[in-house]
Amino acid sequence: MHDSSGAANAGPSVIDPAALLPASGASARYTGSLTTPPCTEGVSWNVFLTPTTLSKAQLDALTGAHPANHRPVQPLHGRTVTAVGAG
């Protein structure tokens, strides 16, 4: 495999998904839709209440790999947001 500079690399690194999550499992749950077209409904979202941070370089790398991967915040339209594991 080669990276974007053409240099060879050993392939994907091993990632521990648990290391990416906040220590508190408190989250908010709501029914919504996909964030990218076709923006279809029926998606159950679970959002951690404790934010996880990343550097500008990490954000730039993510944005470069997935351009236009967002949409503006949408109104609730009567949906219920439920706190899960908060306490």
pLDDT in tens, the chain (87 residues): 455 666 666 666 788 888 888 888 899 999 888 877 787 888 899 989 988 888 999 889 988 888 876 677 778 888 888 888 765
- Find the domain containing 45 and state its range: 23-65+79-87
Residue 7 falls inside a structural domain: no
Backbone φ, ψ for residue 62 (5° rounding): -65, -45
Count of domains forming the chain: 1
Residue 5 falls inside a structural domain: no
Residue 36 falls inside a structural domain: yes
Residue with tokens 């999550």: 21
pLDDT of residue 28: 92
Residue 39 falls inside a structural domain: yes
Residue 8 falls inside a structural domain: no
